[in-house]
């Protein structure tokens, strides 16, 4: 028996590995044994606990090792010690269960017949696994049975134990190879019921053989209609109906005596203490899964992909042969593996029985994207909105694990939305319901991403539902949260613009009746941009012009807003509010100022393009920009050129009383915001001048004039201020050198 060899070698390895520690423990135990006085041992134990904080656990472990060692060695006459070691093993087993190694040892001990029946019985009763039972131990035990050293009652106990622990055995392949051995044990009348039960658990289709059926029928003829034999026979009949022609009574509730009852309570008690306990023995768990969780589908939130069971069955029943021949049949979901397959079978695809399952399948998401069947979308809508509300963890008290599960669920939804480039309506409805209750922390990144996928709709309708709550959170949260909200609104705007730009194209082809609402859509978009402008203005004040925040604000304008006309082909230009423009213009950070220059350049290009288009078409459409936009832009432009270039700041628009400036002792203020003196560029000016004459202790900033001014500009460009370069090229005509 090769497996037995393996076990032995394994056992040897283990003993050799920790033989040294074993030895010391063993010697310690011998000393105690010599004293042969339980009192002194207990005293010794007390000392240990005083010495060592972790003593109790170690001690129990040590005692267990000693006890196992004792049993392995065989009986020694002093029965007092046997009792003590048995107690030790029992205590550990009932408290924590035994490791696979421990069970391996005890199983051999019990079946080797070294001890009496009473001891063997006790050993069996406490053989409770902490985790799993090694298959090898069972194989080894069977070889002990062959040795014939144990009594009949011990054998019975062994089979009962094996049946009870069947689900805890790590593998069953080798045990199944012993099928013939077990089957032969059926002849033993005392063992028969238990062996039957074991075979019932073990039987595979390939184990059912004619000679075995014959044997079972013989046994039945000999012993009469025994429930356990019937069970095995009916199982055989289930696997190979042709082999068994005798009729078996169908109505039978209990085939086997409950042989696991010896260990049942122990196993139940063991479960909660071992989180890593295998979930395999379902019958143990089923009893208490449901009452604890009110959730029914305990495995995962998203249902498994199954094609519609019921309709398939009913269809099968009603279809006769001609139906089968005439129809192409439907394409089962389980076979759908590739995109070409989807295209070929899209007309006859079987939909999942639970539409929520599409979230996990990118192929079906393709399908969802183009399906015209309203009921498919409604099913998904209902399932998703109910699940979101049911799972949403800020409705519940702090439940960390659950929060993670919910975050994962949201991630899956977001992946699907991103894949479809379209938001789900259920998510929108969920946001409306849950945003007023949101603390701004829970699943923040997921939640904000959901916001950015809200499908386009009227801003004024959405404002009280969504944006008002969002602004409340915005103003009361940290700068980082403010920045992430700006980021998410930027993505929202991008998504809206993408939809709208696509929609316009479709309309021009189809001549749809919705033409008139384009103005309304543009209104909505501009309202959203104004809303972000309002948030930004207030945030700039609240956070006292923090560069970090300014960067996110400008990002919103740079990446999306300033280029709407050119990038999305939508008739809309919205400028930033003065509350953003002026703090940025006066910012101390050159990169911010550079960004501003870039944005102004893009605005310039968009407005010029719009004007040109208008001029070409000569049509005064309702989307022509009001002169107010141009005026506003010109005002900003003048202010910028006045500050940075001509050194005549704030001639128009923003007016500052000279007296105020005088009081602030800034008499000569005109030049102080130009490219040379602007605080954001100051470091560039100094290093530019030092480049020329590195020895200079004092730099003369006003020396940058005429040709030197141009060199200075080139220097700034070479330092990476490309926005500035674009701005100056497009907005300043270099005929007049200042």
Partner 1 sequence: MDSYDAPELTPRQDASSRLKDFFIGATPLQKRLESVRKQTSFIPTPPRRKIPQGSQLQEDVDPQKFAFLLHKQWTLYSLTPLYKSSYTNFKEYSKLLNAFIAAEKQKGLAVEVGDDFNIKVVFSTLMGVKGTQRDPEAFLVQILSKSQLPSEHREGKVLWTGWFCCVFGDSLLETVSEDFTCLPLFLVNGAETNTAIIGTWFQKTFDCYFRPLAINAFNLSWMAAMWTACKMDHYMATTEFLWSVPCSPHSLDISYAIHPEDAKALWDSVHKTPGEVTQEEVDLFMDCLYSHFHRHFKIHLSATRLVRVSTSVASAHTDGKIKILCPKYLIGVLAYLTELAVFQIE
Q: Is the dihedral of CA 376, 382, 384, 387 positive or negative?
A: negative
User: Phi, psi (5° rounding) for residue 208?
Assistant: -80, 110
Does position 344 interact with partner 1 (CB under 8 A)? The reply is no
Report 460-499 residues binding partner 1 (CB under 8 A): 461, 464-465, 499
Residue 294 exposure: Cα atoms within 13 Å on the Cβ side: 2
**Binding segment toward partner 1, per CB under 8 A, in 21-29, 83-91, 228-236, 576-584:** 228-236
Q: Which helix (H) or strand (E) holds 505?
A: helix 479-510
CB of 625 vs partner 1, minimal distance in Å:
23
C-alpha distances (whole Å) from 659 to each of 397, 650, 666 are 61, 15, 10
**318 makes contact with partner 1 (CB under 8 A):** no
Nearer to partner 1, 398 or 718 (CB): 398
For 583-648, the DSSP string reads: HHHT-S-HHHHHHHHHHHHHHHHHHHHHHHHHHHH----TTSPPHHHHHHHHHHHHHHHHHHTSS-
Smallest gap from Cβ 290 to partner 1, in A, equals 5
Nearest to partner 1 of 594, 606 (CB atom): 606
* Residue 379 CB partners (closer than 8 Å, separation 6+): 355
228 interacts with partner 1 by CB under 8 A: no
CB of 208 to partner 1, least distance (A): 12
Q: Which is nearer to partner 1, 425 or 711 (CB)?
A: 425
Instruction: Give the binding range for partner 1 (CB under 8 A) out of 6-14, 509-517, 574-582, 638-646.
Output: 509-517
The residue from 70, 277, 383, 409 that contacts partner 1 (CB under 8 A) is: 383
| Pattern 648-667, partner 1, x by CB under 8 A | --------------------
370 binds partner 1 (CB under 8 A): yes
Task: Tell me if 502 contacts partner 1 by CB under 8 A.
Answer: yes
Contacting partner 1 within 90-119 (CB under 8 A): none
Burial of residue 546, with CB atoms counted within 10 A of its CB: 0-12 exposed, 13-18 middle, 19 or more buried: middle
Q: Which is nearer to partner 1, 236 or 603 (CB)?
A: 236
Residue 609 binds partner 1, judged by CB under 8 A: no
Residue selected from 50, 321, 325, 509 as contacting partner 1 according to rule CB under 8 A: 509
Q: Does position 519 bind partner 1 by CB under 8 A?
A: no
Q: Judged by CB under 8 A, how many residues of this single chain contact partner 1?
A: 74
Check binding of 398 to partner 1 (CB under 8 A). no
- Asked if 459 and 527 touch (Cβ cutoff 8 Å), the reply is yes
Looking from the CA of 667 toward its CB, the CA atoms found within 13 Å total 0
CB 579, min distance to partner 1, A: 29
Tell me if 505 contacts partner 1 by CB under 8 A: yes
Closest CA to 494 of 555, 445, 559: 559
* Residues with Cβ within 8 Å of residue 664, at least 6 apart in sequence: none
Asked if 129 and 89 count as a contact pair (C-beta separation under 8 A), the reply is no
Choice from 143, 389, 538, 730 touching partner 1 (CB under 8 A): 389
Three-state secondary-structure class, residue 98: strand
The residue among 269 and 514 lying less far from partner 1, judged by its C-beta, is 514
Taking CB atoms within 8 Å and a gap of at least 24, the contacts of 213-220 are 213/243, 213/244, 215/183, 215/186, 216/186, 217/246, 219/186, 219/187, 219/192
Measured CA to CA, the distance from residue 562 to residue 726 in angstroms comes to: 14
What is the nearest approach in angstroms of partner 1 to the Cβ of residue 350? Answer: 13
Site string for partner 1, 422-461 (x = CB under 8 A): x--x--xx--xx---------------------xxx---x
Whole-angstrom distance, CA of residue 393 vs CA of residue 377: 25
C-alpha to C-alpha distance for 440 and 432, rounded to whole angstroms: 14
CA 202, CA 174: separation in Å to the nearest integer? 11
- Does residue number 246 form part of the binding site for partner 1 (CB under 8 A)? no
182 is a site residue for partner 1 (CB under 8 A):
no
- The single residue among 16, 17, 297, 327 that binds partner 1, judged by CB under 8 A, is 297
**Residue of 201, 262, 641, 699 that binds partner 1 (CB under 8 A):** 201
Rounded Cα distance between 466 and 346, Å, is 38
The three-state (H, E, C) secondary structure of 649-662, written as one string: CCCCCCCCCHHHHH
CB of 298: closest distance to partner 1 in angstroms?
A: 9
CB distance 22 to 65 below 8 Å: yes
Which one, 293 or 705, has the nearer CB to partner 1?
293
SS3 at position 736: coil
Nearer Cβ to partner 1 (14/312): 312
CA 82/CA 74 separation, integer angstroms: 10
Interface with partner 1, residue 306, by CB under 8 A: yes
Cβ-based nearer residue to partner 1, 283 or 733: 283
Asked whether position 187 contacts partner 1 by CB under 8 A, the answer is no
Q: Does 623 bind partner 1 (CB under 8 A)?
A: no
342 touches partner 1 by CB under 8 A: no
**Binding of residue 296 to partner 1 (CB under 8 A):** yes
Does 200 help bind partner 1 (rule: CB under 8 A)? yes
* Closer residue to partner 1 in complex, CB, 110/267: 267
Does residue 259 touch partner 1 according to CB under 8 A?
no
- Closest approach, Cβ 377 to partner 1, in A, equals 6
> Does position 299 bind partner 1 by CB under 8 A?
no
Which positions ≥6 away from 641 have C-beta within 8 Å? Answer: 731, 732
Contact flag: residue 301 with partner 1 (CB under 8 A): no
Q: For partner 1, which residue of 146, 246, 282, 321 counts as binding (CB under 8 A)?
A: 282
Our CA angle for 368, 369, 375, nearest 5°, is 45
In contact, 606 and 573? CB cutoff 8 Å: yes
Residue 285: Cβ within 10 Å count: 15
CB atoms within 10 A of CB 407: 17
Contact call for residue 390 and partner 1 (CB under 8 A): yes
Report the residue number, 352 or 533, with the smaller CB distance to partner 1.
Answer: 352
Tokens in use for 390?
A: 């049911």
Rounded CA-CA distance 25/65 in Å is 9
Interface segment toward partner 1; rule CB under 8 A; list 110-118, 276-284, 486-494, 660-668: 276-284
495 contacts 424 by C-beta, under 8 angstroms: no
Smaller CB separation from partner 1, 223 or 289 = 289
Choose, by CB under 8 A, the member of 62, 88, 137, 387 that binds partner 1: 387
Quick one: which segment of 182-190, 349-357, 394-402, 698-706 binds partner 1 (CB under 8 A)? 349-357
In the complex, what is the shortest distance from the CB of residue 530 to partner 1, in angstroms, rounded to a whole number?
21
Q: Which is nearer to partner 1, 101 or 391 (CB)?
A: 391
Q: Candidates 45, 113, 281, 578: give the one binding partner 1 (CB under 8 A).
A: 281
CA distances from 41 to 430, 499, 623 (A): 67, 82, 97
Considering beta carbons, is residue 44 or 342 the nearer one to partner 1?
342
């Amino acid at each position: 028996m090769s497996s037995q060899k393996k076990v032995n070698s394994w056992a040897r390895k283990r003993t050799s590995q920790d033989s040294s520690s074993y030895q010391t423990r063993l010697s310690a135990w011998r000393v105690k044994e010599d004293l042969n006085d339980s009192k002194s041992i207990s005293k010794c134990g007390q000392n240990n606990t005083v010495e060592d904080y972790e003593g109790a656990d170690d001690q129990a472990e040590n005692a267990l090792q000693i006890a196992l060692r004792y049993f392995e060695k065989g009986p020694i006459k002093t029965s007092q010690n046997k009792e003590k070691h048995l107690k030790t093993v029992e205590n550990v087993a009932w408290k924590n269960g035994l490791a696979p190694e421990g069970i391996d040892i005890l199983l051999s001990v019990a079946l080797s017949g070294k001890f009496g029946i009473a001891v063997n019985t006790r050993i069996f009763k406490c053989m409770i696994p902490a985790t799993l039972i090694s298959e090898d131990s069972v194989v080894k035990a069977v070889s002990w049975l062959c040795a014939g050293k144990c009594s009949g009652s011990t054998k019975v106990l062994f089979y009962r134990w094996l049946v009870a622990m069947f689900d805890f055995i790590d593998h069953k392949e080798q045990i199944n190879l012993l099928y013939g051995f077990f089957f032969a044990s059926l002849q033993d009348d005392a063992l028969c019921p238990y062996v039957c039960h074991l075979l019932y658990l073990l039987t595979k289709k390939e184990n059912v053989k004619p000679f075995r059926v014959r044997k079972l029928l013989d046994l039945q003829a000999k012993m009469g209609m025994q429930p356990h034999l019937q069970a095995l026979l009916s199982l055989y009949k289930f696997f190979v109906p042709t082999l068994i022609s005798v009729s078996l009574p169908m109505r039978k509730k209990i085939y086997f005596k409950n042989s696991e009852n010896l260990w049942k309570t122990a196993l139940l008690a063991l479960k909660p203490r071992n989180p890593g306990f295998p979930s395999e023995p379902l019958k143990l768990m089923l009893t208490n899964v449901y009452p604890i969780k009110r959730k029914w589908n305990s495995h995962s939130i998203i249902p498994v992909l199954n094609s519609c069971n019921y309709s398939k069955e009913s269809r099968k029943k009603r279809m006769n042969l001609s139906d089968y021949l005439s129809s192409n049949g439907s394409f089962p979901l389980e076979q759908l593996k590739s995109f070409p397959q989807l295209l070929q079978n899209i007309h006859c695809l079987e939909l999942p029985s639970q539409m929520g399952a599409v979230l996990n399948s990118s192929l079906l998401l393709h399908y969802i994207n183009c399906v015209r069947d309203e009921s498919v979308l409604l099913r998904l809508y209902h399932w998703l909105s109910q699940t979101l509300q049911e799972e949403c963890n800020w409705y519940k008290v702090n439940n960390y694990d659950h929060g993670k599960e919910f975050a994962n669920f949201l991630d899956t939804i977001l992946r699907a939305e991103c894949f479809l480039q379209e938001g789900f309506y259920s998510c929108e409805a969920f946001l409306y319901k849950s945003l007023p209750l949101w603390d701004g922390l829970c699943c923040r990144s997921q939640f904000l991403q959901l916001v950015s996928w809200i499908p386009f709709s009227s801003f004024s309708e959405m404002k009280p539902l969504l944006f008002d709550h969002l602004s409340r959170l915005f103003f009361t949260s940290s700068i980082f949260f403010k920045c992430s909200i700006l980021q998410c609104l930027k993505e929202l705007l991008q998504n809206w613009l993408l939809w709208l730009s696509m929609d316009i194209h479709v309309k021009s082809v189809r001549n749809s009746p919705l033409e008139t609402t384009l103005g309304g859509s543009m209104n909505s978009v501009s309202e959203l941009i104004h809303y972000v402008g309002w948030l930004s203005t207030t945030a700039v004040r609240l956070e006292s012009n923090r560069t970090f925040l300014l960067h996110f604000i400008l990002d919103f304008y740079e990446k999306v807003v300033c280029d709407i006309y050119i990038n999305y082909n939508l008739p809309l230009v919205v400028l930033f509010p003065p509350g953003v423009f002026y703090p940025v213009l006066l910012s101390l950070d050159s990169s911010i100022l550079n960004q501003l220059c870039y944005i102004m350049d893009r605005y310039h290009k968009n407005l010029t393009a719009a004007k040109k288009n208008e001029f070409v078409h000569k049509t005064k459409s309702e989307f022509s920009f009001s002169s107010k936009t141009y005026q506003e832009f010109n005002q900003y432009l003048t202010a910028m050129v006045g500050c940075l270039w001509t050194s005549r700041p704030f001639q128009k628009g923003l007016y500052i009383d000279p007296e105020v400036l005088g009081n602030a002792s800034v008499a000569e203020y005109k030049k102080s915001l130009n490219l040379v003196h602007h605080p954001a560029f100051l470091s560039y000016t100094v290093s530019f001048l030092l480049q020329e004459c590195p020895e200079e202790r004092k730099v003369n900033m006003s020396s940058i004039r005429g040709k030197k001014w141009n060199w200075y500009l080139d220097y700034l460009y070479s330092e990476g201020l490309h926005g500035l370069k674009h701005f100056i090229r497009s907005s300043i005509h270099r005929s007049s050198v200042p």
